[in-house]
Amino acid sequence: MTTAGTVSGMISYPSDGTEVQAYLAAPPGGEGPGVIVIQEWWGLVGHVKSVADRFAESGYLALAPDLYHGVATTEPDEARRLLMGLAMPVVARDIAGAADALVERGGGPRIGVVGFCMGGSLALWSATVSAQIVAAVGFYPAMPWERMTPSWPSYAGKAAMIHCSEGDGTSSAPGIQAAVAAIRGAGGQIEVFDYPGTQHAFFNDDRPEVYDAEAAALAMDRTLGFFATHLR
């Protein structure tokens, strides 16, 4: 798809001997800092692709890997099953491979990552599985850290940002507090923002029952400022 000078479409990249499908959105001119966009638990759906397009419109080379390898859903029970079936070592390889793919396309050497819900946790974790990922943004991260066993010391010299909804317990939630303490303890930088009155998935404009346009716009502005500081 082409939008405002961007060029987007599906590609594949290598990951530990296999091929991963991913949606690549290139900015006008085709070059820019690389950002990995990580899906919610629904899979690589249209909303995730549209988010990648928005980053491309802002000058980033955005890559959204298909972590479910061809499966997507609109049913919560199926999404939960897909989430629980994720093999974390494979996910780590797929995300690290996405970083390599962006570097090969001129998006490096410093790669950013942003994710939502399940992907919010995976985004924050990503900085611990690839040395090239130096800036991570998690929107309302929803996976328990025990699933990923992150090596938090890898955050030394890196930076993270977390956007928290009120419906998830704000930044006071134990999982958020654990990540903040671990990243700071490793010598990483961390910014955390609360969005009063919001529900989980407030950034997803395909879900009008929870979407909050004002909070989503503010969170996007903060995310773009964060990447401008740490990737350019």
Kindly report the CATH class assigned to 2-231: alpha beta
CA distances for 219 relative to 90, 113, 125, 152, 162, angstroms: 30, 15, 20, 24, 9
Specify the 3-state DSSP secondary structure of 112.
Answer: strand
- The pLDDT assigned to 3 comes to 56
- The pLDDT assigned to 4 comes to 57
- The pLDDT assigned to 85 comes to 95
**Tokens 């930044």 correspond to what residue?**
171
Query: With a cut of 70, which residues of the chain have pLDDT below it?
Result: 1-5
The ranges assigned to domains in the chain are 2-231
Identify the CA nearest to 195 among candidates 177, 174, 227, 222.
222
Q: What pTM was computed for the model?
A: 0.96
Q: Which two tokens stand for residue 113?
A: 């990552």
Rounded to the nearest 5 degrees, what angle is found at the Cα of 184, between the Cα atoms of 175 and 182? Answer: 40
- Residue pair 210/200 in contact (Cβ under 8 Å)? The answer is yes
Using one digit for the tens of pLDDT, what is the confidence trace for 158-187?
A: 999 999 999 999 999 999 999 999 999 999
Give dist(CA 138, CA 135) in Å, integer: 10
- The pLDDT assigned to 17 comes to 85
